[in-house]
Amino acid sequence: MSAAPPVLPAYVPGDYKTDLKPVWCPGCGDFGVLTALYRAMAELQLTPELTAVVSGIGCSSRLPGYVETYGFNTVHGRALPLATGVAVSRPDVKVIAVGGDGDGLAIGGNHFMHSARRNLDVTYILMDNEIYGLTKGQVAPTTPTGDKTKTTHYGNPEPAVDPCELAVSFGATWVGRAFSGDLKGTVELIVKALQHRGFAFLNVMSPCVTWRGDDQFKTLKAKARPIPAGHDTSSRAEAMKYTRETDVLSTGVLYEVKTPSLNDRLDTIKKTALAGGPSATVPGIIKTFLPSF
């Protein structure tokens, strides 16, 4: 969980920047996400050594290498399992998981479901470019039906999923949508996501200029508009209204509820387990294997 902001030193966005040059293509939407993350971290004064950024594999998953915290660019699809280990074993560390739509929704989809269900203490930022970027342009679970890609010569025969709709059904307790072209909005949403206790899912539409052309950015920009004020974020049915959208791209907080996080619950278990008594010791446990009669 987030460490209490220290009084000194005050971190500025640049403090969270490593000196590794991003491999991203000029114009890639992920630059926007990275900048927004730096700012959000600074706004919350996250302690670098008490923060961990974990990712899978993909262009977007290169992000941890550019953030001056403990970072792990793991294997394709496993960002959330790794994040689970960090978050549960080190409740004092703020854990941020990032990755792409292929990484998080295709190969990693199951971990997304169960991390959300457990209300894992992790902020998960998905950079959705509706394509597999790093492997040079194959269809993704968010690629619209009919689109041509390197592996859909005749147009994508498969329907796409809406990551935010999935997150709600999985049991995520905070669900938001952003557009990396809107830096200010993205910063705001990342801040809120980081402040949430439990599993916060933010889907950031982050254009891939190389494999989705310049149109993607243009159309997203044209479609993006904030969720109308007064939206009831506590209702699943209401949240549904802003999913599977075609003509618009609603950005903002879709859904938010406050329930105990996984670490809250595991804390309770430790207390019940000890029932006020002293913690167990190995010799003590060994004794329980002696026939006692």
Partner 1 sequence: MVGAGGDGIVTMGDILSQAGARDGLNVIKTEAYGPQIRGGESSCVVRLSPDAIYEQGDAVDVLTVFSWADFGRFKGEVQPAPNAVVLFDEADPVARTKEDLGLGADAHWIAVPFSKLAGDAGAKGSKNVVGLGVLTALVGLPQATIRRAIEKRFGRKKAAVGELALKAFDAGMLHGATLASLKDRGITFTPGSAKLLMSGNEASALGALHAGCRFFAGYPITPSTEILQFAEEWLPKMGGSVVQTEDELAAIGAVVGASFAGVKSMTATSGPGLSLMTEMLGLATMAEVPCVVVDVQRGGPSTGLPTKSEQSDLWQAVFAGHGDAPRVVIAASDVEDCFHATVEAFNISEEFQLPVIVLTDQSVGQRRETLDPARLVHKVIDRAVPTAAELADYKRYRDTPEGFSPMSVPGMKGGIYQTNGLEHDEEGRPASMHVVHEKMNDKRYRKLKPIREKYTRVRRFGPEKADLGIVCWGSSKGAVKEALLMAEERGQKVAAFIPDMIFPFPVKALEEFLKSVKQVLVIEISFAAQFYKYLRTFTTLPENTLLFKRSGGKNLTISEVDDQIRTFFAKSGDRQKGAA
Ligand X SMILES: Cc1ncc(C[n+]2csc(CCOP(=O)(O)OP(=O)(O)O)c2C)c(N)n1
Closest CA to 198 of 227, 171, 237, 234: 171
* Residue (114 or 221) nearer to a second copy, CB: 114
User: What residues from 79 to 118 belong to the interface with partner 1 (CB under 8 A)?
Assistant: 80-86, 88-90, 92-93, 106-107, 109-111, 113-114, 118
User: What residues from 256 to 285 belong to the interface with partner 1 (CB under 8 A)?
Assistant: 266, 269-270, 272-274, 279-282, 285
* Residue (201 or 211) nearer to ligand SF4, CB: 211
Q: Give the start-end residues of each E strand in the chain.
A: 51-55, 70-73, 94-100, 123-128, 174-179, 200-205, 224-226, 249-256
Token pair for residue 293? 């009669």
Taking the complex as a whole, the smallest distance from the CB of residue 210 to ligand SF4 amounts, in Å, to 4
Q: Examine residue 273 and tell whether it contacts a second copy (CB under 8 A).
A: yes
Candidate list 29, 32, 99, 133; residue touching partner 1; CB under 8 A:
133
Q: Examine residue 103 and tell whether it contacts a second copy (CB under 8 A).
A: no
Taking the complex as a whole, the smallest distance from the CB of residue 209 to ligand SF4 amounts, in Å, to 5
* Residue (225 or 265) nearer to partner 1, CB: 265
Q: Are the CB atoms for 151 and 191 separated by under 8 Å?
A: no
* Size of the chain, expressed as the number of residues it contains: 293
What is the three-class DSSP state of 161? coil
Taking the complex as a whole, the smallest distance from the CB of residue 102 to ligand SF4 amounts, in Å, to 10
Q: Are strands 51-55 and 123-128 parallel, antiparallel or unpaired?
A: unpaired
Candidate list 132, 174, 217, 255; residue touching partner 1; CB under 8 A:
132
Quote the CA–CA distance of 72 and 34 in Å, as a whole number.
16
